[in-house]
Structure 1
């Protein structure tokens, strides 16, 4: 930015900031910021404009820009807040500089526009790049966290493991299910694995194919797979699609599946005097463990 225009902007920063705040405030009711509290909106705006002036004074302040971009992401505000704010700042700065000149011709206007652009555009690029980088990093961390939760393998008792599935199963998640199943069966020495699809909203041909593949993989490493949680509508869909699930046991509920798993491992639940050790308590402890 031309030094003379830079000096005008810095010497009159309070006025320019107030012009910018007034215009940003007028946009609040018509966009995504309408639900934001006035206190948070004003404090963030002042921090934003401080980032801009810090950038021109130091010719780049990466840490300040990075921290502000991360804050906007954590607040859940879109990238347009940054781009709109900078465009408004560019406009009010140009208007103010032009208003301070006694002689305004096309050459002077062109000089002002070029100078302000050279100041604002690097800030836009830096803020957008930092915002995008921070966003990608956060999304990556969330994806990893979701993957860890998407196919949990829970050892219930010796030789019996449960994998509760919730939500849609796509190809990527099916691969994760397969990996977790095989790794868990070997690690826990499982004889029986219960795959609970109670929380899977739709079982189509693709989902059934992935489940069958997982069950077959479990069988190849010496364990038995039982599919549980088959609701009436899911059973009807499976029949209508002609999907063959006859190669491994199926049960309508986790309770029935667990009872069958005990039979396969030559065990059963018995009542001990003074204690009511029944299957409902065991399954209740499983659900409590999932909640924790």
Structure 2
């Protein structure tokens, strides 16, 4: 069974999507449609932007979404997913790819999400840190016993858990985690405390938009971040998507469940190979690959 997986924020790079634009009339049409929907030429930033341009959440998130979704749409008959999943932002790409959201609605939701998250970050400063080399339970306990807001945010693979929260609480937790034997406890260069209670204002704003968006029946199960289980019901998908901003990304658990349900190949659709690396750390023998437009492969 072929599992298609979609990356989240952090995978962006200057020049992303240009090969698609130059080699596929369908891709060119969709990129131009995206420029019209967003009200600015995001293609200018994607194709020629600087690292500084991509630091803004409101740019990075739509860029990654567009690269993933447009690549999926240009794959034609080779895009036959038995199951899909996306890491954080990538869940929106997965929902368009498996027919739950149409292209325009998906992009509008991602744009709303990015702007709401940017606003929340500006209002309440926060950060995230990658913790390497400790069991999840130890990290969770230290977070729970640290003053202030600090929570487990991304279960990326065994021995790699990202925590999220207030600056001071994150710094204190990192000190304790290092004392307890973490190989590294590294503050990440991110805009704020994603997947933590600090994102509650963004969750509320996004929820209002999600509730008025049409969700269709998926063509295959999506393994959502908040449950790490196969979901086929549109209302359940919608509720999980609303919870996602303040709940942890259960990526390790999602991949494990997909494998248990029969996945034999994981195909990453979008920029980079981060998710392929995580799948290999979760299950070393598992086959992984990147989706590539056939005419430019």
* TM-score of the pair, normalised by structure 2: 0.23
Whose strand fraction is larger, Structure 1's or Structure 2's?
2
- Larger Rg: 1 or 2? 1
Structure number with the bigger relative contact order (C-alpha 8 A, sep ≥ 6) is 2
